[in-house]
């Protein structure tokens, strides 16, 4: 469930890019616009991750990431959020 929202956003971006490229003859402009969109959308996450990596112990970051990953895996295997993820 937690992964469904970000993934649907990426899917929408890809679909919009394909539709723009198919609709207009300005392929270069569509590529540049899509690339800038991804850079602007991802920059805050990268900057926040850099700040967190400098201030937090890396073992704690790895442990939290592993717990989140395992929790999401178990929840998917247990069937929670299967409708949102189109699984099962």
Query: Measuring CA to CA, how many Å separate 82 from each of 9, 39, 68, 87?
Result: 18, 31, 17, 5
Q: What mean pLDDT is reported for the chain?
A: 78
pLDDT confidence tier of residue 6, bands split at 50, 70 and 90: low
Is 82 in the same domain as 62? yes
Residue 2 has pLDDT above 80, yes or no: no
Give the residue, 12 or 68, on which the prediction is more confident.
Answer: 68
Is 48 in the same domain as 78? no
Question: Once rounded to an integer, what is the mean pLDDT over residues 39-62?
Answer: 88
Is 8 in the same domain as 47? yes
Distance from C-alpha of 38 to C-alpha of 45, rounded to nearest angstrom: 11
What range does the domain containing 79 cover? Answer: 56-88
pTM of the entire structure? 0.47
Domain count for the chain, please give it. 2
Residue 26 has pLDDT above 60, yes or no: yes
Cβ 21 vs Cβ 27: under 8 Å: yes
**pLDDT reported for residue 69:** 93
Is 13 in the same domain as 49? yes
Is 60 in the same domain as 49? no
Residue 23 has pLDDT above 80, yes or no: no
């Amino acid at each position: 469930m937690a992964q469904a929202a970000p993934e649907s956003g990426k899917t929408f971006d890809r679909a919009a890019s394909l539709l723009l490229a198919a609709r207009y003859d300005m392929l270069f402009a569509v590529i540049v616009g899509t690339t800038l969109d991804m850079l602007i959308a991802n920059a805050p996450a990268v900057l926040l991750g850099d700040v967190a990596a400098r201030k937090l112990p890396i073992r704690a970051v790895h442990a939290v990431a592993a717990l989140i990953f395992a929790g999401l895996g178990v929840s998917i295997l247990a069937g929670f959020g299967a409708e949102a993820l189109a699984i099962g």
